[in-house]
Amino acid sequence: MAEKFVFRDMEFRAGAHLWSNPKLRGTPAEIPIILGRPTLFDVVRLARRYPLETLYETNRRLRASREISERQFLRTQEILRNVERVETRTTSTLDDVARAVANRYEDPPVPVECIPTAAQTRRALSHWLPAGLPTIAQGEQYIYLTDVPFELETVIMRWLRWQLDNEPERSSTWLIQGSGGLALSHGGWCAFVLWLTDALHHRLDQIEIGL
């Protein structure tokens, strides 16, 4: 059952992904995972565990890497600002925080082409992946999410959030927090490659029949 708590006479419930992996729970690794698809509970809970500036910074980074939409970025920013006002007892109330969830924003146009930096080029498929795929051994082989092929970096983060939402018991076992950040197991990498291959085959099938 999802955890719940009461804050200023209002009850909040956690999103499933927040509690799916005991190894990540309570560590900084949970911040980008949660802010990728936050519930109101999640944002308020994070604001009680970490400095608000850390949450603002993570939200800005997720937008810059296009791991979240502009609409979601603005929604989370507004919730954080209202949480900050509630904490400092200014004029806003927790009702303002709740109303921020319902706000709708339009996403900006997606850039036509993403130009990688020199460091990103070293792990880009379009440049023959000169850095290879470095892995670490932690019982089994893991790859840091910052070492996956550049073109797949955002895709794999979005795929992982979808997996954590839909199959938390299975997918949470794929992730560990290493010295270099969040890392994905070989089993998780194989599951991603299988999903990616299936998605490409499905799209080719659609193209071949004129869809």
- pLDDT value at 115 more than 60: yes
pTM: 0.55
Of the pLDDT bands very low, low, confident and very high (cuts 50, 70, 90), residue 68 is: confident
Buried b (16+ CB within 10 A) or exposed e, 98-121: eebeeeeeeeeeeeeeeeeeeebe
Of 49, 69, 102, which residue constitutes the final position of a domain?
102
Average pLDDT estimate for 171-181:
90
Answer yes or no: is 135 within a domain.
yes
Three-class secondary structure assignment of 121-143? HCCCHHHCCCCCCCCEEECEEEE
Instruction: Give me the pLDDT at residue 98, please.
Output: 52
In a domain, 113, yes or no: no
Per-residue pLDDT at 11: 52
Query: Is 90 exceeded by the pLDDT of residue 66?
Result: no
Q: How far apart are CA 159 and CA 181, in angstroms?
A: 18
Confidence at residue 152, expressed as pLDDT on a 0 to 100 scale: 93
Q: Could you tell me the residue range of the domain that residue 24 belongs to?
A: 4-102
User: Residue range 145-170: average pLDDT?
Assistant: 89
Split at pLDDT 50, 70, 90, the class of 18 is very low
pLDDT score of 166: 84
Residues 70, 139 within the same domain: no
Q: Do residues 69 and 29 both lie within one domain?
A: yes
- Asked whether residue 22 is assigned to any structural domain, the reply reads yes
Percent of the chain residues topping a pLDDT of 90? 25
Q: DSSP alpha helices (H): ranges in 26-149?
A: 30-36, 40-49, 52-64, 70-87, 94-102, 118-121
Query: Domain for residue 16, yes or no?
Result: yes
Q: Are both 16 and 56 inside the same structural domain?
A: yes
Same-domain check for residues 202 and 122 = yes
37: pLDDT strictly greater than 80? no
pLDDT reading at 176 higher than 90: yes
